[in-house]
Structure 1
Amino acid sequence: MAELRLGVSLHSFAHEYCSYVWSLEDLLAMAGQLGGGVEIVGPSHQRGFPYVTDEFEAVFRSAVDRHGLTPTSYGSYADPFLLPHRDLTLDELLEYTIPQLRGAARLGFPVVRLQHYTASIIDRLLPEADDLDIVLGWELHVPMTLASDRTRRLLDLVEKYDTPRLGIIPDAGIFARSVSVAHVRRARELGVSEDVIRRVLAAWRDDRDLDEAHQLLGNPGPTSPVTTWAGLVWDTFGRSDPAELDAVIHRVVHVHGKFFDIVDGDEPDIRYRDLVAALVRTDYTGWVSSEYEGAVGIGEGGGARAQRDSFELVAAHHRMIRRYERDAS
């Protein structure tokens, strides 16, 4: 088997990008230094979203040429809750999504990440994918797991249409072994007691669903910091077994290499050794985009992300995957 193709999602550099430390040009240059595979997130990195302007296309394609980049996957969004007074209709959701597909194709992306909300319009998106010569992939992101009901419904659609234009994109966050130290720190910042932290983590390790966890905690109200933090945990760390990929690998069109930290050369909370072994064992040929989340969304007191260089962490993530890849070969 050839080496896994490793790239980076520019989301990995969100802290430095959003705080104006690094520009978009900086991010693209660093993607080139990391090997060239690049994934962007439409509303985060693209001016004029959901449309691609001539100016943005010129800037992006120039960077591709100058930095030796390979566009891998475009992160589209499907937000049916854009309007304050009602959800988008299916026609409106289609009108919001189609420009993203066309923009991705203009930028040279072969794969477009879809969110599960597009399941209701997939029959209308596939002809567009054919015309644009792109592949659509539903992201399996926590709280979805490989065994969840929503994932099963998406896989049923993939099997129903049975086309190379449609597949899935597993996010490595679904393969967690533990909850990160930074997320536990956030609980303390919110004022959650040590006893409640212990009980929440025990419920997560026992693979209980969020409703069961709430019952075990005495059903804290919707504004309780316990509810806020438990929701963060269940929406970030999934309990799938990477071995489950064997049955669906032929439908995997891209992989999001989510990670939260690298400690002594390893990601402490995601089962990366097992994940890489599964990709090697099944002869996966697509890209893996490193996606560093670090302390994103866990408050100023989290601190860990602000003190560490995201580029160096992504480089360390690549080295870790290569080491596990050698071990599995």
Structure 2
Amino acid sequence: MKMVFRWFGENDDSVTLNEIKQIPGMTGVVSALQDIPVGEVWPQEKIKELKNEINQAGLELKVIESVNIHEDIKLGLKSRDKYIENYKKTLKNLAAEGIKVVCYNFMPVFDWLRSDLAQELEDGSTTMAYDESWINSTDPVKLVEEFDENSEGFSLPGWEPERLAELKGIMEQYEDISEKDLLSNLKYFLEAVMPTCEENDIKMAVHPDDPPWPIYGLPRVVTGKENLRTILEMVDNPYNGLTLCSGSLGSNPANDVPALIREFGSRVHFSHVRNLNFDGKGKFHETSHLSTDGSLDLFEIMKAYYDSGFDGYLRPDHGRMIWGEKARPGYGLYDRALGATYINGLWEAITKMDS
């Protein structure tokens, strides 16, 4: 297991590389070029600059999260081939700078979704929460505006302005797109990029939908065991793999996260580990990583990774805002650093139990 930490860049993150370096067991960061519009080629020189900045801090850059997929690819429009060619050029440029894994998602229009970015918990910390009834009663445009107002002045990953500028029009384009259509468009994309991945030794790792069910009538196809298996089988190539996010998949109680890890372990190229608490049907809030603070058993999750021989990249995922920290929702320093330490402790204990 290689422990990494998500970092949004010097100008877009409240957390510094020097602070990340001080977290015990941290080997590198997961980052991206935040200023490249979706669909455009990432210049190798800019990738190199980012890598050098991270390397100079004593950390590695081996995973990119994310090279976002242009909406035309998801919709299956004729223009998709142009954007796929750009994506392949980006993959080549990333591989040339030593990148091994690209995390991406195939969620239409919206990326992850929450109803509250700062729900206060009993201990005084704040966290992100989801309430399906609130989502269903809220106009999508209003939701985007509220997210922007409550993001502590930070941009939100997966909520790039250019993707959401014409929200209503994009949503209308999906009215005739079924889950079967979306899955077919994902297959088309993966079949097109796999030769580039093989030639350049760079893996694709699809992130689960968050939450893993349809939103505003939009189809979602990365939600649980059956469609994870379908995605891996329809393009049966070791370079086509998963970002297994315990929080995204685990927000549906029907998903047995340790069992998913054991079934798909060899195709898990990247792991996000976090915890959450079920608050009722279609309702949950994120918690500390500690098993007793949430509904997911982090010991069993890490044991499943160990039993599967996992040797990929893993990062502590969303944290609460604690100790007065002001940061991008879910991505402060303190709670994620505690999460990393807790995960490392579990890993050490499991390793020694087996020796």
TM range (shorter): 0.5 to 0.7
Q: Which residue of 1 aligns with 2:224?
A: 146
Q: 1:134 aligns with which of 191, 194, 202?
A: 202
Shift of 1:321: 0.6
Q: Is the 8 A contact 2:290 2:342 kept in 1?
A: no
Q: Is the 8 A contact 2:320 2:335 kept in 1?
A: no
Shift of 1:277: 1.1
Q: Is the 8 A contact 1:261 1:313 kept in 2?
A: no
Q: 1:29 aligns with which of 15, 18, 22?
A: 18
Secondary structure, counterpart of 1:7 in structure 2: strand
Q: 1:241 aligns with which of 244, 257, 264?
A: 257
Q: 2:304 aligns with which of 278, 282, 286?
A: 278
- Classify 1:156/1:33 alpha carbon distance in 2 versus 1 (closer, same or farther; 3 Å): same
Deviations 1:103-149 (A, max 9, x none): 322432111123346432222211111222212222234313432x4
- Classify 1:101/1:31 alpha carbon distance in 2 versus 1 (closer, same or farther; 3 Å): farther
Q: 2: CA distance between counterparts of 1:164 and 1:175?
A: 22
Q: Which residue of 2 aligns with 1:323?
A: 345
Q: 2: CA distance between counterparts of 1:38 and 1:71?
A: 6
- Classify 1:137/1:277 alpha carbon distance in 2 versus 1 (closer, same or farther; 3 Å): same
1:190-209 counterparts in 2 under 5 A? Answer: none
- Classify 1:169/1:248 alpha carbon distance in 2 versus 1 (closer, same or farther; 3 Å): same
Shift of 1:279: 0.6
Q: Is the 8 A contact 1:256 1:290 kept in 2?
A: yes
Give me the identity figure in percent: 14
- Classify 1:109/1:145 alpha carbon distance in 2 versus 1 (closer, same or farther; 3 Å): same
Shift of 1:327: 3.7
Shift of 1:294: 4.4
Q: Is the 8 A contact 2:302 2:343 kept in 1?
A: yes
Secondary structure, counterpart of 2:99 in structure 1: coil
Q: Which residue of 2 aligns with 1:61?
A: 51
Secondary structure, counterpart of 2:250 in structure 1: coil
The structure with the largest helix share of the pair is: 1
2:240 is the counterpart of 1:166 = yes
Q: Is the 8 A contact 1:9 1:289 kept in 2?
A: yes
Q: 2: CA distance between counterparts of 1:59 and 1:172?
A: 32
- Classify 1:89/1:294 alpha carbon distance in 2 versus 1 (closer, same or farther; 3 Å): farther
Q: Is the 8 A contact 2:291 2:297 kept in 1?
A: no
The one-letter amino acid of 1:99's match is: K
The one-letter amino acid of 1:287's match is: Y
TM-score normalised by structure 2 residue count:
0.58
Q: 2: CA distance between counterparts of 1:31 and 1:102?
A: 28
Secondary structure, counterpart of 2:317 in structure 1: strand
User: Where does the alignment leave 5 or more consecutive residues of structure 1 unmatched?
Assistant: 178-203, 208-238, 296-302
The one-letter amino acid of 1:37's match is: G
Q: Calculate the aligned-residue CA RMSD, in Å.
A: 3.7
- Classify 1:94/1:267 alpha carbon distance in 2 versus 1 (closer, same or farther; 3 Å): farther
Q: Which residue of 2 aligns with 1:40?
A: 31
- Classify 1:36/1:47 alpha carbon distance in 2 versus 1 (closer, same or farther; 3 Å): farther
Higher mean Cα deviation, 271-280 or 112-121? 112-121
1:1-329 counterparts in 2 under 5 A? Answer: 4-10=1-7, 18=12, 21=14, 26=16, 28-34=17-23, 35-42=26-33, 44=34, 46-47=35-36, 50-53=40-43, 56-74=46-64, 75-81=66-72, 87=77, 89-116=79-106, 118-142=186-210, 143=212, 144-147=222-225, 149-158=226-235, 161=236, 163-176=237-250, 239-258=255-274, 260-262=286-288, 268-292=294-318, 294=320, 306=326, 310-328=332-350, 329=353
Q: Is the 8 A contact 1:8 1:289 kept in 2?
A: yes
TM-score normalised by structure 1 residue count:
0.62
Higher mean Cα deviation, 253-262 or 46-55? 46-55
Q: Which residue of 2 aligns with 1:226?
A: none
The one-letter amino acid of 2:259's match is: A
The one-letter amino acid of 1:139's match is: H
Q: Is the 8 A contact 1:168 1:251 kept in 2?
A: yes
